[in-house]
Amino acid sequence: MFEMVTLADTQAHAQQAAKAVVVQYEDLEPKIITIEDAILHQSFFHPINKIEKGNLQEAFEKADQIIEGKLRIGGQEHFYLETCAAIVVPHGEDGEMEIYCSTQNPDMTQMLAAKALGVPANRVVCRVKRIGGGFGGKETRICVLSSVCAVAAHKLVWRDSGCNAVTAAGRTVELYTDEHVDAILCPPCNDACVASALLAGYWNIPAITWAAMDPRMDDKILFNTLTRLLLPFNSLGKFNSLGKVNLFSQYM
């Protein structure tokens, strides 16, 4: 895995620099996209863990009935409200670092950052104040972000301070992930829907509510991206993806 990070004095400058990066990809063979591809090319994660007990072949031969089939289970994204974020403060003595991040796994965050910096783990302190929702999504993936942030803070030294660049203290670095929102499903209660729809209009993001009918939302200037539906509850499930696409197409 390859990680690229752009450092800047503001978020806008960092995003502008990131957009200027040109990535060149190289086709690798064989292309392994599906589980069937992995089986065909014997490409597995190691070590391979197996649960075995008894004679499987003999059990199949003696079975009265054998039922065969396939089961596919799709991935489930973690839907936390706040994105992954980290602030790393270097202390300039023996590679010491202090990491403030929204991690569910402070131990792994500490160990991986220390490994990336090439220092003992006791030189890195991880502090967690607020997670902002996690549900397992901030247990491992946050460690990549915090480790990158630690390396950046270590390398970004105060070269204009007159200190020796080798021994100079690093600089505090903040890093967090952005997320693009395609649409907002507003709450059915009036007050909460009004607040959500106002934000959606400010961000020019489509918003939809299926029950809130507050007359304040009649103002199409303030609520210029809001669509209101009032469906019978027994037919709400029939509002399928095709209907959503048609509904949101006016904003695309």
**pTM > 0.75: yes or no:** no
Task: State whether CATH 3.30.365.10 applies to domain 85-176.
Answer: yes
pLDDT (tens digit, 0 to 9) for every residue of the chain, 252 residues total? 566 778 888 888 888 888 898 888 888 889 888 888 999 999 998 888 888 888 988 999 999 999 999 887 766 666 677 788 899 998 877 778 999 999 999 999 999 999 999 999 999 999 998 888 888 878 888 888 899 999 989 887 655 445 454 444 568 888 877 766 667 888 888 888 888 888 888 877 888 887 788 888 888 888 888 888 765 444 444 444 444 444 444 444
Output the 3-class SS for the chain: CCCCCCCCCCHHHHHHHHHCCCCCCCCCCCCCCCHHHHHHCCCCCCCCCCCCCCCHHHHHHHCCCCCCCCCCCCCCCCCCCCCCEEEEEECCCCCCEEEEECCCCHHHHHHHHHHHHCCCHHHEEEECCCCCCCCCCCCCHHHHHHHHHHHHHHHCECHHHCCCCCCCCECCEEEECCCCCCCEECCCCHHHHHHHHHHHHHHCCCEEECCCCCHHHHCCCCCCCEEECCCCHHHHHHCCHHHHHHHHHHHC
Q: Per-domain residue ranges for the chain? A: 85-176, 184-251
